[in-house]
Amino acid sequence: MSASTQATRDLCPAEQLDGLVVLTLNRPEARNALDVPLLQAFVAGLAEGRRAGAGVVLVRAEGSAFCAGADVRSDDGTATGRPGLRRRLIEESLDLMGDYPAAVVAVQGAAVGAGWAIATAADITLASPAASFRFPELPLGFLPPDSTVRRLEAAVGPARALRLLALDERFVADDLARLGLVDVIPEASLDGKAREMAARLAALPPELLRDLKTGLSAWKRPHSIDRPPSKGSHEH
């Protein structure tokens, strides 16, 4: 293995278990902000997991933050003649997560922009009480990924999805738990609970898990008429 290949894998190490791949975002000094090398490692890990037969993926992260979003201070691919590469890799990673019969994400600390998009791409999102979520894309002049928009609209309805996606507000884990988007787990138990749940899913027949997921996606449930999180429960 070349030094460059090893360095790429170190950015997102993979654990291959029975029917399960565990991928760890490992750029804690940058709060796991998604630059091109980390995204390439993440995409490669997702693709390799499926090729190896994993039916379930667990995405976790090292450090105090889950993911601070796209690293806009880094090169987006322009330097190598591929402008927009970072955005394309983000979208590819979300598509690959959706290709698994089940995806689990464990969020500690901040999940910003593309970090929140990764959490939204999961079928089950576990979050510590200190986790926080924010989409700053629109004020920065970008649209969130299409798959993220669709999933949030299906989960909470268009009005709430607009608030979550457009206003650059900071929501805490309890806010999203009230909307049914995350389950809050004590931070000391978060990693163990995520691994346990992912392993239980991986023990199921993957084709049946896929069929169940497809059936649930096709079921259009009425949206709750509960009020959205109060302004006092999050920061602007």
How many residues in total does the chain contain? 236
Convert the pLDDT of each residue in 157-198 to its tens digit: 999 999 999 999 999 999 999 999 999 999 999 999 999 999
Residue 228: its pLDDT value, please? 42
Convert the pLDDT of each residue in 52-100 to its tens digit: 999 999 999 999 999 999 998 899 999 999 999 999 999 999 999 999 9
* Cα–Cα nearest to 39, from 72, 64, 17, 65: 72
Distance CA 109, CA 128 (A): 7
Q: Regarding the domain with residue range 3-233, which homologous superfamily does it belong to in the CATH classification? A: 2-enoyl-CoA Hydratase; Chain A, domain 1 (3.90.226.10)
Token pair for 27:
């750029």
Distance CA 44, CA 221 (A): 35
Convert the pLDDT of each residue in 19-62 to its tens digit: 999 999 999 999 999 999 999 999 999 999 999 999 999 999 99
The domain segmentation of the chain, as residue ranges, is: 3-233
